[in-house]
């Protein structure tokens, strides 16, 4: 414990120094400071056995730099506590367009897969197979942009409720999460099928004690509009343009070598979409645009929202939905029957809760009644965004589902 404290303080000082120096022009890097999870195979581990570790060394070697790892588990607050905090400069993989960071050129694309025991003879083809209603389905609960994963959304959009959640995003203990659990649960028959992100699926299916079948989901889901396939890139801070340019050129030079590393880990790679236009992508959606969705008319689009409401939607579906209901819907009761329909709390026809009361209860909770205090997880800005989202749902103009941001539509129509 003491050790950790000392290490963190050291890292903090280094971080501050780095942040101060970051505005100075950079020459060639001598150190590639990588943000990396110590217990997250096949991505990375503290023995540097994951494919992110291998790719980090490949990139560093090309730049004649050395790898300096900054270990921080992929948990709530990981970006703030690693790359955005200045403790490290590059994440070896992130979906293109992940909001708070800048992403390089993509170097691979993968998608979600059904994973089931070969001896079950299931032959699943799509999320609309009615058999899914009768199966126990495992999904990872939290995705790269810290909201529910696309399959979790897509299944609940179909009213499929037999979900078993995996992942431990809220537990700060780096060893609390066992990424292989979801695939092992299929092997052990404790769930019937899992829907798993390709790299995770490919690696653990190969290491499973029984034969497992993998079937790819389509690029995006026609019902929920969620994408399943993602272009994956490296990530840096927005201001580190020079580093981004260097990484882009390594990706060009060494693309074949990088793909060979992925192959060693049995990462299922699908064909990347052709890059349209030469201009760098503007600040894009947190997940790639919905490929199969036509550009919407912004006047009649009842899901079009400001960035604050969008942000509120994200927070809500990380922290609040499990009691107050997906899309803030409680019909007839909330998922947690003790919780309150927050649309009713804010509605003039209901409790007509003023904004300040909402913020107060959200921050301090009502512990005796089972409402947690969120001031440890969320700041006032986040609570204000939550209020705006719930208010929009309460007023009724915002329909259920993933909202669209104006910036997404502008990106798409370019
Ligand atoms: C673990 C379950 C749980 C979670 C998660 C949860 N709540 Fe609650 N919440 C409750 C319960 C139970 C109540 C009802 C308390 C009572 O009886 O007064 C409540 C009440 C509230 C109220 C007061 C409503 C009213 O009309 O009095 C607000 C506001 C609220 N929650 C906001 C939130 C927000 C925002 C989040 C997410 C950041 C959240 N809650 C997450 C369980 C939860």
pLDDT single digits (tens) 197-216: 999 999 999 999 999 999 99
> In the prediction, which pLDDT does 110 show?
93
Average pLDDT, the chain: 80
CA 367, CA 5: separation in Å to the nearest integer? Answer: 31
Please give the residue that has the higher pLDDT: either 138 or 287. 138
Q: How confident is the model at residue 50 (pLDDT cuts 50, 70, 90)?
A: very high
Q: How far is the CA of 343 from the centre of ligand 1 (A)?
A: 12
Q: What percent of the chain has pLDDT over 70?
A: 79
Task: For residue 3, give every residue at least 6 positions away whose Cβ sits within 8 Å of its Cβ, in sequence order, or none.
Answer: none
**Beta-carbon neighbour count of residue 31 at 10 Å?**
13
> In the prediction, which pLDDT does 141 show?
67
From the CB of 362, is ligand 1 less than 6 Å away? yes
Mean pLDDT of 5-19: 35
CA 109, CA 233: separation in Å to the nearest integer? Answer: 9
Show the tokens assigned to 391. 């208010």
Mean pLDDT of 174-197: 88
Mean pLDDT of 320-336: 88
From the CB of 34, is ligand 1 less than 6 Å away? no
> In the prediction, which pLDDT does 298 show?
32
CA angle 101, 83, 404 (to 5 degrees): 25
Q: Most confidently modeled of 9-13, 266-270, 274-278?
A: 266-270
Q: How confident is the model at residue 20 (pLDDT cuts 50, 70, 90)?
A: very low
Inter-CA distances, 149 with 138, 144, 154, 191, 226, Å: 12, 8, 9, 18, 9
Considering only 144-148, 232-236, 264-268, 337-341, which range has the smallest mean pLDDT?
A: 144-148
Q: How far is the CA of 395 from the centre of ligand 1 (A)?
A: 19
Which CATH homologous superfamily contains domain 304-407?
Answer: Cytochrome c-like domain (1.10.760.10)
Q: In the chain, where does the domain assigned CATH 3.40.190.10 lie? A: 2-106+231-264, 112-216
CA 348, CA 346: separation in Å to the nearest integer? Answer: 6
145 pLDDT exceeds 50?
A: no
From the CB of 166, is ligand 1 less than 6 Å away? no
Please give the residue that has the higher pLDDT: either 116 or 301. 116
Please give the residue that has the higher pLDDT: either 341 or 303. 341
> In the prediction, which pLDDT does 159 show?
74
> In the prediction, which pLDDT does 301 show?
58
From the CB of 186, is ligand 1 less than 6 Å away? no
Q: How far is the CA of 330 from the centre of ligand 1 (A)?
A: 12
To test the pocket of ligand 1, the residue of 76, 146, 311, 339 to mutate (highest count of ligand atoms within 8 Å of its CB) is 339
> In the prediction, which pLDDT does 312 show?
93
> In the prediction, which pLDDT does 25 show?
42
> In the prediction, which pLDDT does 233 show?
95
Q: How far is the CA of 394 from the centre of ligand 1 (A)?
A: 15
Which CATH homologous superfamily contains domain 2-106+231-264?
Answer: Periplasmic binding protein-like II (3.40.190.10)
> In the prediction, which pLDDT does 376 show?
83
Please give the residue that has the higher pLDDT: either 383 or 403. 383
Q: What is the pLDDT of residues 279-302, one digit of tens each?
A: 333 333 333 222 222 222 333 456
Nearest residue (CA) to ligand 1, atom 10: 371
Please give the residue that has the higher pLDDT: either 119 or 143. 119
> In the prediction, which pLDDT does 245 show?
96
Nearest CA among 15, 100, 91, 88 for reference residue 52: 91
Q: By the 8 A CB rule, do 265 and 201 touch?
A: no
Mean pLDDT of 111-136: 90
> In the prediction, which pLDDT does 171 show?
61
Q: How far is the CA of 403 from the centre of ligand 1 (A)?
A: 22
Q: How far is the CA of 219 from the centre of ligand 1 (A)?
A: 36
- Rg of the chain, C-alpha, whole Å: 22
Residue 84's Cβ-side half-sphere holds a number of Cα atoms within 13 Å equal to 10
CA 74, CA 65: separation in Å to the nearest integer? Answer: 25
Nearest CA among 81, 79, 112, 108 for reference residue 93: 108
169 pLDDT exceeds 60?
A: no
Considering only 12-21, 45-54, 58-67, 232-241, which range has the smallest mean pLDDT?
A: 12-21
Could you tell me the sign of the dihedral formed by the alpha carbons of 246, 249, 253, 256, in that order?
A: positive
> In the prediction, which pLDDT does 206 show?
95
Q: By the 8 A CB rule, do 287 and 405 touch?
A: no
Q: How far is the CA of 324 from the centre of ligand 1 (A)?
A: 7
Nearest residue (CA) to ligand 1, atom 30: 362
> In the prediction, which pLDDT does 386 show?
95
Domain 112-216, architecture per CATH: 3-Layer(aba) Sandwich (3.40)
Mean pLDDT of 213-242: 89
Which residue reads 């110590």 in tokens? 38
From the CB of 100, is ligand 1 less than 6 Å away? no
> In the prediction, which pLDDT does 186 show?
95
> In the prediction, which pLDDT does 54 show?
98
Nearest CA among 58, 91, 413 for reference residue 261: 58
Q: In sequence order, what DSSP letters do the residues of 375-394 get, joined into one string?
A: TTT--HHHHHHHHHHHHHHH
217 pLDDT exceeds 80?
A: yes
Considering only 36-50, 100-114, 232-246, 263-277, which range has the smallest mean pLDDT?
A: 263-277
> In the prediction, which pLDDT does 254 show?
95
From the CB of 361, is ligand 1 less than 6 Å away? yes
């Amino acid at each position: 414990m003491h050790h950790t404290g000392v290490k963190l303080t050291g890292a903090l000082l280094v971080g501050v120094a780095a942040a101060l120096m970051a505005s100075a022009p950079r020459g060639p890097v001598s150190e590639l400071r990588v943000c990396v999870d110590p217990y997250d195979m096949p991505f990375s581990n503290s023995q540097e056995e994951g494919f992110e570790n291998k790719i980090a060394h490949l990139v560093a070697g090309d730049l004649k730099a050395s790898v300096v790892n900054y270990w921080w588990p992929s948990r709530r607050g990981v970006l703030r506590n690693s790359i955005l905090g200045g403790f490290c400069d590059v994440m070896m993989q992130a979906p293109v367009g992940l909001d708070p960071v800048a992403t390089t050129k993509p170097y691979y694309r993968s998608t979600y897969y059904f994973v089931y025991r070969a001896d079950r003879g299931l032959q699943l083809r799509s999320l609309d197979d009615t058999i899914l209603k009768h199966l126990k389905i495992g999904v990872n609960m939290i995705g790269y942009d810290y909201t529910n994963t696309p399959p979790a959304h897509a299944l609940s959009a179909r009213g499929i409720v037999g979900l078993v959640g995996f992942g431990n995003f809220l537990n700060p203990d780096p060893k609390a999460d066992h990424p292989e659990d979801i695939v092992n649960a299929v092997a052990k028959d404790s769930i019937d099928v899992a829907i798993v992100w390709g790299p995770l699926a490919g690696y653990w299916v190969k290491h499973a004690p029984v034969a497992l079948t993998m079937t790819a989901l389509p690029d995006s889901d026609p019902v929920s509009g969620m994408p399943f396939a993602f272009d994956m890139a490296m990530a840096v801070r927005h201001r580190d343009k020079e580093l981004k340019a260097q990484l882009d050129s390594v990706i060009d030079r060494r693309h074949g070598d990088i793909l060979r590393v992925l192959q060693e880990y049995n990462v299922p790679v699908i064909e990347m979409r052709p890059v349209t236009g030469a201009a760098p992508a503007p600040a894009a959606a947190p997940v790639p645009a919905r490929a199969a969705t036509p550009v919407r008319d912004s006047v009649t689009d009842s899901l079009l929202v400001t960035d604050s409401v969008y942000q509120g939607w994200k927070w809500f579906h990380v922290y609040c939905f499990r009691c107050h209901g997906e899309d803030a819907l409680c019909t007839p009761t909330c998922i947690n029957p003790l919780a309150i329909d927050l649309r009713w709390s804010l509605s003039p026809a209901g409790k007509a809760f003023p904004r300040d009361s909402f913020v107060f209860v959200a921050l301090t909770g009502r512990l005796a009644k089972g409402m947690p205090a969120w001031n440890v997880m969320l700041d006032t800005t986040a609570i204000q965004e939550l209020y705006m989202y719930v208010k929009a749902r309460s007023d009724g103009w915002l329909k259920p589902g993933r909202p669209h941001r104006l910036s997404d539509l502008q990106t798409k129509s370019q």
